[in-house]
């Protein structure tokens, strides 16, 4: 699981880098992956302290995903530079790259946004019958289902009475 780093920790890491410590030594000193430290430093250089604050995830279009993946996978631009430049998360870029390598650019088009439920799942909404014929058909279907349910209940009760009779007990009078 990815460890969340609070704002103060990110700011401390950037200040140490600006004080002359290398990204690797700052990462080692604070117990943080050096890639994160470098990304925070780049964001700080571009946006100041605001670049270190949590940001709202960006919904990238198909064209943007293709452009980002092309830069990362084919032109070998660093992951940190891409994340800072396009304001996307590392995990998103890595996921898109993995999908691209498996299925090409067209596979990126098929990605569904995370966090949205599948359409068509669950019980469909009932529609009121439009005509008299539809209303009667609906009522007929309902009555058939009710009769089938009552038959099933009767069969279960008879089966229970039969079992009780076999072991010598009298059934209750429901």
Predicted pLDDT of residue 91 = 84
Predicted pLDDT of residue 2 = 40
- Of the three residues 18, 40, 55, the one that is the final residue of a domain is 55
Residue 145 domain boundaries: 132-174
**Residue 173: band (very low, low, confident or very high) from pLDDT cuts 50, 70, 90:** low
The helices-and-strands tally (H runs, E runs) of the chain is: 8, 0
Evaluate whether residue 77 is within a structural domain.
yes
pLDDT above 60: residue 145: yes
Evaluate whether residue 156 is within a structural domain.
yes
Name, in order, each residue with C-beta under 8 angstroms of 3's C-beta and a sequence gap of 6 or more.
none
CATH number where 13 lies: 1.10.10
Evaluate whether residue 126 is within a structural domain.
no
pLDDT digits (tens, 9 = 90+) for 88-143: 888 888 898 999 888 888 887 877 666 655 566 677 777 776 788 888 988 999 99
Indicate whether 3 and 31 sit together in one domain.
yes
pLDDT above 90: residue 154: yes
Predicted pLDDT of residue 88 = 84
Indicate whether 83 and 49 sit together in one domain.
no
Return the higher-pLDDT residue of 159 and 76.
159
**Residue 1: band (very low, low, confident or very high) from pLDDT cuts 50, 70, 90:** very low
The per-residue pLDDT of the chain, averaged, comes to 84
pTM of the model: 0.51
Indicate whether 72 and 31 sit together in one domain.
no
- Which H or E element spans position 83? helix 79-86
Indicate whether 72 and 33 sit together in one domain.
no
Evaluate whether residue 1 is within a structural domain.
yes
Predicted pLDDT of residue 130 = 77
Evaluate whether residue 71 is within a structural domain.
yes
Is 96:108 a contact under the CB 8 Å cutoff? Answer: yes
Work out the average pLDDT over 61-82: 86
17-31, 50-64, 68-82: which range is least confident on average?
Answer: 50-64
Evaluate whether residue 124 is within a structural domain.
no
Number of structural domains, the chain?
Answer: 3
Indicate whether 44 and 77 sit together in one domain.
no
Indicate whether 51 and 96 sit together in one domain.
no
Evaluate whether residue 122 is within a structural domain.
no
Work out the average pLDDT over 22-46: 89
* CA distance linking residue 62 with residue 112, whole number of Å: 11
Evaluate whether residue 81 is within a structural domain.
yes
């Amino acid at each position: 699981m990815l460890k969340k780093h609070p704002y103060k920790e990110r700011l401390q890491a950037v200040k140490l880098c600006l004080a002359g410590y290398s990204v690797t030594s700052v990462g080692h000193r604070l117990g943080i992956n050096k890639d994160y430290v470098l990304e925070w430093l780049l964001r700080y250089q571009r946006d100041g302290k605001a670049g270190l604050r949590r940001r709202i995830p960006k919904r990238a279009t198909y064209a943007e995903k293709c452009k980002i993946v092309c830069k990362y996978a084919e032109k070998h631009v660093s992951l940190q530079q891409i994340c800072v430049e396009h304001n996307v998360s590392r995990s998103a870029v890595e996921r898109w790259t993995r999908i691209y390598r498996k299925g090409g650019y067209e596979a990126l088009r098929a990605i569904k946004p995370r966090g949205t439920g599948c359409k068509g799942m669950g019980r469909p909404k009932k529609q009121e019958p439009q005509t008299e014929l539809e209303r009667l058909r609906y009522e007929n279907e309902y009555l058939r289902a009710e009769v089938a349910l009552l038959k099933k209940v009767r069969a279960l009760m008879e089966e229970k009475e039969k079992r009780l009779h076999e072991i010598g007990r009298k059934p209750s009078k429901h």
